Structure 1
């Protein structure tokens, strides 16, 4: 393997993760290899986006997000419109984007990817003016994510989402919405909505299994209302990505989508919940340079 040239790396580190010995050792290790490391530690929402924006304008070679999906999402938005590459050290609960793109979950190995592999151009998605990398969900999955306690996620990882999801089955409340996309216009009472730039969310659930980070399209899965027992059976297929073609499941591949819900609903974007009633999605083809462990499909 060739020796990489010296780089100036901006490390945007989630405040909780900054105390980990592995993170502190990583800074020392990268500096020992001759690279310049500027660490910035986040303490509140918006810090990571601001740090990334400043880094993109300040001439750094790469902005490295160190944390979970929320940290990565903020850094992505800070880099919107910039050609500065994104590197990821995945230290979150689910790390769905990293798992899909071959980014190691070990900090040192993930850093090797950033130092030794050239960045790849991939698509990003947008919801109401905010970029996201992976999957946006509404309905039961989004509510489960929003209601899963932080300490449960820390202790149980992705299993915590599944436990909350089982509890939410007892509270099934369909959402009525109108869907508008190129070639599509329909109304649905749905339980689950997923809009995917990537395939998996919530620790590996394949809601949009045909999605690609490089096809210039968003994959949309709508699971329409059904009885509790029928939905419980379908969740097993949803987990494995085997739900396409099942009764009451719509699957679209479109460059944009508008959803008009009958009330404000919980919408999850890269692990972060929001309350929205009108959802405007679009894809930005090949808009991000990112260091990946594998070539995206």
Structure 2
């Protein structure tokens, strides 16, 4: 194997995906084509952070996150711990059940094509979301959406794709209690009984739900979507109609583009960072602008600066 020095690419694979024949074939083929590619596999939480540190210390120029949105989140967290001047570029090999960030970027979904792009594609500087001190690259989604994402069985996610979230949502909706809280952003505020909240750097979450259709990764702005609680089936249908008409505001749905937002919750508010579940009583979401070198496809729809 070639030396693991400066300019190399490390593929950090989620252990659940490491034995997939298509992944192994893609790695073998690209190595035969002359690409220097070092493989590391995660076994438990925290491995991704450690391996990013090792790759950066070795002088890697690119790190490829092989896994789903949660795996990408851990690699991003590791990269953000590195000094900007030695931060490797992030490539993505989508191997999860939802792959929301990869779909938003319009990355290839087959292992060979995705890995080839990760090794050879253009690198662009993009913004990274910060929720207090925790990094997220795609979407922080909260309230009802976060509870559904967390409680949907993995097998059902794989079987039904995005439909699993809608199915579980309908089954739970009538027992749902709204989250009371106070939102603040630079030129406004609102105290609302929240049904759902989304803070987008990327454009979609929850298995294909486009919660931030105007999102760009390089515009210095977060997309803020919040949905007021409903009290009847008719109001729920109204919410669905309004969500289909994003980014326009409606009676229940507001959509804003802001550099930061703060939220104070009356209780422990469920929030997913790139699919990873958390709970907060207070948080501030903001952006670290142009902080992440990211490998992107040609004409990536999440980039505004060309």
Q: TM-score, normalised by structure 1?
A: 0.92
Moved more, 190-199 or 51-60: 51-60
Shift of 1:35: 2.1
Deviation per residue, 1:171-195 (Å, 9 max, x gap): 2211111112212232111101110
Match of 2:3 in 1: none
Contact 1:198–1:213 (CA<8 Å) still a contact in 2?
A: yes
Show the 5 A alignment for 1:61-72: 61-72=61-72
Shift of 1:144: 0.3
**CA–CA separation in structure 1 for the residues paired with 2:12 and 2:162:** 23
Matching of residue 240 in structure 1 with residue 244 in structure 2: yes
**CA–CA separation in structure 1 for the residues paired with 2:57 and 2:158:** 34
Say if 1:11 and 1:235 are closer, same or farther in 2 by CA, change over 3 A: farther
Shift of 1:149: 1.3
Shift of 1:204: 2.2
Say if 1:273 and 1:90 are closer, same or farther in 2 by CA, change over 3 A: same
**CA–CA separation in structure 1 for the residues paired with 2:232 and 2:42:** 41
Shift of 1:115: 2.7
Match of 1:46 in 2: 46
Match of 1:225 in 2: 229
**Secondary structure of 1:119 counterpart:** strand
Show the 5 A alignment for 1:1-297: 8-80=8-80, 81-82=83-84, 83-237=87-241, 240-242=244-246, 244-293=248-297, 294-295=299-300, 296-297=303-304
**CA–CA separation in structure 2 for the residues paired with 1:180 and 1:239:** 22
Q: CA RMSD in A?
A: 1.8
Shift of 1:168: 2.1
Q: TM-score, normalised by structure 2?
A: 0.90
**Secondary structure of 1:201 counterpart:** coil
**CA–CA separation in structure 1 for the residues paired with 2:47 and 2:239:** 36
**CA–CA separation in structure 2 for the residues paired with 1:157 and 1:249:** 25
| Structure 2, unpaired ranges of 5+ | 1-5
Say if 1:113 and 1:235 are closer, same or farther in 2 by CA, change over 3 A: farther
Contact 2:214–2:247 (CA<8 Å) still a contact in 1?
A: no
Moved more, 103-112 or 23-32: 23-32
Shift of 1:235: 4.9
Shift of 1:239: 5.5
Contact 1:15–1:41 (CA<8 Å) still a contact in 2?
A: yes
Shift of 1:86: 0.3
**Secondary structure of 1:288 counterpart:** strand
| Structure 1, unpaired ranges of 5+ | 1-5
Say if 1:7 and 1:58 are closer, same or farther in 2 by CA, change over 3 A: closer
